[in-house]
Each structure stands twice: as C-alpha cells, then as structure tokens.
Amino acid sequence: MKTLDQDNIIGIAALLVHAARIDEQYSEHEKGLIKEFIKSYLKDSDLDKVLKSAEELEKNSNQLLSFTNIIKKENNEIKSDIISHLWKIIISDKSIDQYESNLMRRICGLIYFSDKMSAEIKLQILNSKK
C-alpha cells in the first residue's frame, strides 16, 4: 500500500475528527480509533501531536473539500481503508444518525468512491461488532 505523507495524514485525520464530532459527542474511544488510523500510516510518529494538529485543522476549517481532495487522488485500496476508518468512528457509538449518513454519502461522492462499496464496508464493520 502506498504511504501518505504526514501532512496528508493530518488532513485525512481532520476528516475523521469531523466525522467523530458531527454528532456532537467526541469520545475518547473515537480519539483512539483516529490514533489507530494515524499509526497505520505513520508508524513512528507522536500520535497525540498528530491528532492535536488534525483537531486544530478541523476546528479551523469550514469545508470538507480540502480534506477530500487529498483522498480523491489515491487508489481504491487507500480510499477503502479511509472509508473503513470513517465507518468505524461513526458506528462506534452504536447509532448512525442522518447527519453521519449524509456525511458519508458526500465524502464518497467527493472522492469518487462507490456508495455500494461504502455500504459493503459498513456492513462488514457492523457484522464484526456482533
């Protein structure tokens, strides 16, 4: 799998933070899931520092486009991995509201990722939680 540079990981992590905050409940568990994503790409980084940078970036940004432009250029393997991490965060509180579903549809459209593949990833994660 191709590796992304730290700035791209911070941007994608900001998108994950946005997904975590959309229901206005940003939990320690969600932070842990975001750190797992960061660690999977940046093995030797200071996870707390990278997460803090992502949180700042998300707080100071009013549009998703800049985050999704990073992902749009990547291959389907990386897109699938990112969509999977987004769904893990959204599903982590055991409820998916309309804002979270809408966010996922918008992100999939912006990065040219099929809704069908996103739904399959979502189902895999839901089934693994049982």
Please state which of the ranges 1-10, 29-38, 89-98, 109-118 shows the lowest mean pLDDT: 1-10
Question: Would residue 76 count as lying in a domain?
Answer: yes
Rg (CA), the chain: 13
| Angle of the 76-91 helix axis to the 65-72 helix axis, nearest 10 | 140
**CATH code of 31's domain:** 1.10.3680.10
**How many domains, in total, are found in the chain?**
1
- Domain of residue 28 covers 6-128
Question: Would residue 1 count as lying in a domain?
Answer: no
Return the amino acid letter for 111. Answer: I
Average pLDDT taken over every residue of the chain: 91
Predicted local confidence at residue 3, as pLDDT: 66
Predicted local confidence at residue 93, as pLDDT: 84
Plot region of 94 (φ>0 → left; ψ -120 to 50 → alpha; else → beta): left
CA distances from residue 120 to 38, 51, 84, 89, 117 in whole angstroms, order as listed: 23, 28, 10, 16, 5
pLDDT digits (tens, 9 = 90+) for 56-99: 999 988 777 788 998 999 999 999 999 999 999 999 988 888 99
